[in-house]
Structure 1
C-alpha cells in the first residue's frame, strides 16, 4: 500500500517528449469487477448476471467502460507523466464491448507537450485478444509541479 510512503514526483512537463510510450497488459478478473460494483454501488445486471446478459445483444456480462477508463487513468498517474499528475480531460470511444476475463493490451503515447500550460496529451488505445480496438482516445493531464513558496 502506498499510504504513508514518500513517493517521488512523476516527470515534469519539461522532461516529457512527444513519442514517449507505454504498453501494459491487463486481465479483467472477477475480483476487479466486484470491487468496482461494490465501490460504485452500480447494480446494472449487464455487468454481472449471466442470465440477464443472455437476453441482451451482448449475450454475456460486459466489463463497465469506466473500469477501462480507470486502468488508463491509473497508467497516467503511475507512469506518464506519473505520480503527482492531474487529469484534466478525457475523450474516449468504446468501440467494442469487453467481456469478463478478457486480456487487454493498452498502449499510451505522448502526442503533445505544452510547457507553457503544463499540459500533455496522451493518445490511448486498448486492444483485445482478437487484435481489435476496444477503446481509443486522448487523455490530457497536468504533470506534477512543485509549489512555489
Structure 2
C-alpha cells in the first residue's frame, strides 16, 4: 500500500518571507539512533565521564543530528514533500547538551526563479534563548508530476 504525499510549495507558490518555527526536544533515543546509523563512536556524544574532562563538561548532541532536524523540516514543511536540498552552510555557535529543547526558525530569504532555487535562513535557540546555530540552506522546491 503506497501513501499519497502532497507536493510541497512549488516555485509558483513559495515566496520570500515564508516562515516556519519548529521546536524539538532532543532525547537520548534520538542520539543513540543517529549513532547506531552512522557508527559514530565519539565519546563526547555518549560518555558522561569522558565529557566531564572536556571544555563541554557534559555529553553533547552530534552536529549532524541538528542538521538532520533542519533538513527534515524542509522535507516535511517548507517547501515540503518533493524538495531537494542542494547546499548547506551551518555555523555551530554553541554546543547542545542531551535533553535540550531547541527552537528552529526558518525564513525564506530568496526566491531565484531563473535557477528554480530558494534560500532558507535558519536560526536555532535553546530554552535560554541562546543562539546555538545559524544555517543557510539552498533548496530546489518540488515540481509537479511531469505531464505526458
| TM-score, normalisation: structure 2 | 0.96
Moved over 2 A (4+): 146-149
Residue number in structure 1 paired with 2:68: 70
After TM superposition, give the deviation of residue 148 of structure 1 in Å: 4.9
Q: How does 1:37-76 map to 2 (within 5 A)?
A: 37-76=35-74
User: How far 1:4 sits from its partner (Å)?
Assistant: 2.4
Partner Cα distance (2:18, 2:10) in 1: 13
| Structure 1 residues not aligned, in runs of 5+ | none
Q: Which residue of 2 aligns with 1:89?
A: 87
Structure 1: distance between partners of 2:124 and 2:70: 9
Structural mapping, 1:1-149, within 5 Å:
4-146=2-144, 147-149=146-148
* Partner deviation per Cα, 1:14-62 (whole Å, 9 max, x = no partner): 1111101001100010110010000000000000100110111111100
Q: Please give the root-mean-square deviation of Cα atoms over the aligned residues, in Å.
A: 1.1
CA distance in 1, matches of 2:137, 2:82: 15
Partner SS, residue 56 of structure 2:
coil
Structure 2 gaps, min length 5? none
1:6 Cα shift? Answer: 1.1
Q: How many residues align?
A: 147
